[in-house]
Amino acid sequence: MFDNLSTKLDKAFKNLKGQGSITEINVATTVKEIRRALIDADVNFKVAKEVTDEIKNKSLGQDILISVSPGQMLVKITQDELTSLMGGTQENIVIEGNPAVILIAGLQGSGKTTFTGKLAARLKKEGKSVMMAACDIYRPAAIDQLKVLGEQVGVEVYAEPENKNAVEIAKNAIAAAKQQNKKVVIVDTAGRLAVDEQMMAEIADVKEAIQPSETLFVVDSMTGQDAVNTAKTFNDRLDFNGVVLTKLDGDTRGGAAISIRKVVEKPIKFISYGEKMEALDVFYPERMAQRVLGMGDVVSLVERA
Amino acid sequence: EKSKDSLLDKISKAVVGKSTVDEDVLDELEEILITSDVGVGTTIKVIRRIEERVARDKYVGTDELDKILREEVAGLLAENQTEEMSDFEIPKGASKPYVMLIVGVNGVGKTTTIGKLSAQFKKKGYKVLLGAADTFRAAAVDQIKLWGERTGVPVVSHGMNTDPSAVAFDAAKKAAEEGYDIVMIDTAGRLHNKVNLMNELTKIKRVIQKFIPEAPHDIMLVLDGSTGQNAVMQAREFTKATQVSSLAITKLDGTAKGGVVVGISDEFKIPVRYIGVGEQVDDLQVFNKEEFVDSLFKK
Ligand SMILES: Nc1nc2c(ncn2[C@@H]2O[C@H](COP(=O)(O)OP(=O)(O)OP(=O)(O)O)[C@@H](O)[C@H]2O)c(=O)[nH]1
Ligand SMILES: Nc1nc2c(ncn2[C@@H]2O[C@H](COP(=O)(O)OP(=O)(O)OP(=O)(O)O)[C@@H](O)[C@H]2O)c(=O)[nH]1
Ligand SMILES: [Mg+2]
Ligand SMILES: [Mg+2]
């Protein structure tokens, strides 16, 4: 697809031989191809428009080098643009407070509980004492699921199976952690839709009550055009600090990553790429840009295989 | 729904005083379809068909355009091969037990859909059995058992980390021996690009067939309504491994439109059977083409 795109772009440039630089005229068709490739990769329609307009501006007047084809050159410009859009550098999570509190939020089935387990394992490995709080009081067997993961990674889970108040459970978990001298509490919450007012109010209340130093929005990397709406609403309500992209072990292009970054301007901090507790990594903007353009995030997966 | 946001309204504005469908209208249409996850390829297909029809039938007004549009999109959605399904029923004349294998990638809503279907089938008077063949995901067995309790439907289980094929086999066997009408087999979520896991599904299917040759009667692929173009790959790979015969789209209670199924249904000729509209037991509906197409064009 990456090669595809540059081949397509070359074709679009073909009938424009003899033009030494990228001009308004010869860039129009190629920009359209790029836009289509982005939309095929699930980048939001509007975001794709904005991004390709920027790419167009950046490429106008640039001299076409002899050594590369114009198509390759535009792909390079596109990739650089996407990379810088996604943040350029890695950003860490903030672990502050006594105990430090990390709140996990997102849609149903996005991978929150699995990520909670993974993050706990990672922090434990770094030598921190961690506790997980089971604040999903709705999904059948949600508490059991977190407990199984807790056993797998050797991290205690705080739960109150009879309590139907997520705010209370979260607060009690933190008090318990304090008493036991745990340094970090990771709070797993129920999946919820952005349009579910009652559930959005609940998580806003949880956040208010526990004052996390880090709130993470977990999103399925296969998400389509709707990613922007969801991310925006969650961000409006929670002002989250970062994004976790899950299920990147699939073959999705992951264009949602670009849309979300562009719309809420929050960094992507982790990627999750499997069901095993080790399948967690920090985010590499350049790899993601390549993936969206069709090269696949092969490098980071191969390294870990 | 604010009517000022409707496609029809926008189209009206774009075509005032014009006698043909112009660029503006088509751009508008393109945006609607693409932001519903219909995908560039299918969107272009729809637009071409509309252009052709307008050229042939002579386009007069926005009402006609709206109708044409709906017809063209609905036309891409495959028919149910079984008789018109207006309710939660299994095809008349199907041998019993009617075996359903539920498959899909991680977290799409397979187990929940099975839970909801149990209740609906039971309401119809069917005797229903579940097979807990997701023996992998943490607490997956507990989850389906809770759905079984909630709906009063028994669950065949061998516990966690056991052979899923053996569970499926036992469930089919029990269903046949004890006169169940329907048995639904839950499977672990798996990404379609994982060869081993896809082979495991093929094996589950084969093992069931050892016991009931015509089973599974239905292999239902569950798709998350908020998934983008990757759902096409999912449909392709799951069809290769198990010959998917129906689709369910979940999580349509949010703002996602699930438009990607239009192209999938068209390309693979698989009908959409159910839609999930919430987490509660009653939040499942039989798929209705017209309503679905309507919802695509609502903003
Ligand atoms: N392949 C793959 N599967 C994942 C990944 N992360 C999570 N999963 C799977 O996705 C499914 C849903 O994950 P959960 O962690 O239960 O998701 P959740 O957001 O907690 O779900 P709810 O609590 O129901 O909203 C499970 O089958 C997980 O094993 C990932 O990175 N890759
Ligand atoms: N809003 C909404 N949530 C749904 C719907 N269907 C399922 N869910 C939720 O989505 C999450 C995942 O559902 P599951 O039924 O566990 O999905 P699954 O496909 O069995 O997941 P795995 O077995 O882990 O692959 C749960 O939180 C469900 O409550 C739906 O139609 N609407
Ligand atoms: Mg969860
Ligand atoms: Mg399941």
What whole-number distance in Å separates Cα of residue B230 and Cα of residue B195?
17
Question: What is the pLDDT at residue B29?
Answer: 85
At A199, the pLDDT band (50, 70, 90 cuts) reads very high
Measure B248 CA to nearest chain A CA, in Å: 16
Question: What is the pLDDT at residue B165?
Answer: 98
What whole-number distance in Å separates Cα of residue A232 and Cα of residue B35?
16
User: Looking at B40-44, B217-221, B236-240, B247-251, which range is the least confident one?
Assistant: B40-44
Q: What is the pLDDT of residues A150-188, one digit of tens each?
A: 999 999 999 999 999 999 999 999 999 999 999 999 999
- Ligand 2 and B61: CB distance under 6 A: no
At A46, the pLDDT band (50, 70, 90 cuts) reads very high
- At residue B274, does pLDDT exceed 90? yes
Beta pairing partners, B184: B100, B130
- Residue scoring higher pLDDT (A88 or B188): B188
Those of residues 72-111 in A touching chain B at CB distance below 8 A are 107-111
Question: What is the pLDDT at residue A303?
Answer: 38
Q: What is the pLDDT of residues B103-116, one digit of tens each?
A: 999 999 999 999 99
Section A232-242 average pLDDT: 98
SS3 B102: strand
Section B193-209 average pLDDT: 96
Section B158-175 average pLDDT: 97
**What mean pLDDT, rounded, does chain B reach?**
90
Section B72-93 average pLDDT: 79
Measure B204 CA to nearest chain A CA, in Å: 21
What whole-number distance in Å separates Cα of residue A112 and Cα of residue A114?
5
> Candidates B146, B250, B277: which one to mutate for ligand 2, based on the most atoms within 8 Å of Cβ?
B250
- Ligand 1 and A139: CB distance under 6 A: yes
CB proximity list for B156: less than 8 A, separation 6 or greater: B129, B130, B131, B132, B167, B170, B171, B174
Question: What is the pLDDT at residue A19?
Answer: 57
Pick the atom of ligand 1 nearest to A279's CA: 31
Pick the atom of ligand 2 nearest to B189's CA: 25
Section A128-137 average pLDDT: 98
User: 0.90 exceeded by the pTM?
Assistant: yes
Beta pairing partners, A244: A218, A270
Instruction: Spell out which residues of chain A touch residue B193, defining contact as CB-CB under 8 Å.
Output: 249-251
Question: What is the pLDDT at residue A20?
Answer: 60
What whole-number distance in Å separates Cα of residue B13 and Cα of residue A270?
45
What whole-number distance in Å separates Cα of residue A190 and Cα of residue A176?
21
Q: What is the pLDDT of residues B127-149, one digit of tens each?
A: 999 999 999 999 999 999 999 99
- Residue scoring higher pLDDT (A128 or B50): A128
Those of residues 18-37 in A touching chain B at CB distance below 8 A are 36
Query: What is the DSSP code string of chain A?
Result: -HHHHHHHHHHHHHTTTT--B--HHHHHHHHHHHHHHHHHTT--HHHHHHHHHHHHHHHTTPBPPSSS-HHHHHHHHHHHHHHHHTTSS--PPP--BTTEEEEEEESTTSSHHHHHHHHHHHHHHTT--EEEEEE--SSTTHHHHHHHHHHHHT-EEE--TT---HHHHHHHHHHHHHHTT-SEEEEEE----TT-HHHHHHHHHHHHHH--SEEEEEEETTB-TTHHHHHHHHHHHH--SEEEEE-TTSS---THHHHHHHHH---EEEEE-SSSTT-EEE--HHHHHHHHTTS-SHHHHHHH-
Q: What is the ipTM of this complex?
A: 0.94
| Nearest partner of A171 among A120, A229, A99, A240, judged by Cα | A99
Task: Fill in the DSSP letter of residue B161.
Answer: T
- Residue scoring higher pLDDT (B94 or A66): B94
| Nearest partner of A116 among A283, A235, A277, A284, judged by Cα | A277
Q: Report yes or no: A201 and A148 within 8 Å, Cβ to Cβ.
A: no
Query: What is the DSSP code string of A57-94?
Result: HHHTTPBPPSSS-HHHHHHHHHHHHHHHHTTSS--PPP
Question: What is the pLDDT at residue B84?
Answer: 52
Section B259-278 average pLDDT: 96
Closest in B34, B139, B257 to A144, CB measured: B139
Instruction: Spell out which residues of chain B touch residue A141, defining contact as CB-CB under 8 Å.
Output: 139-140, 142-143, 145-146
- Residue scoring higher pLDDT (B85 or A158): A158
- Residue scoring higher pLDDT (B71 or B13): B71
CA angle centred on A281, ends A277 and A282, rounded to 5°: 145
Q: Report yes or no: B156 and B186 within 8 Å, Cβ to Cβ.
A: no
What whole-number distance in Å separates Cα of residue B108 and Cα of residue A4?
31
- Ligand 1 and B109: CB distance under 6 A: no
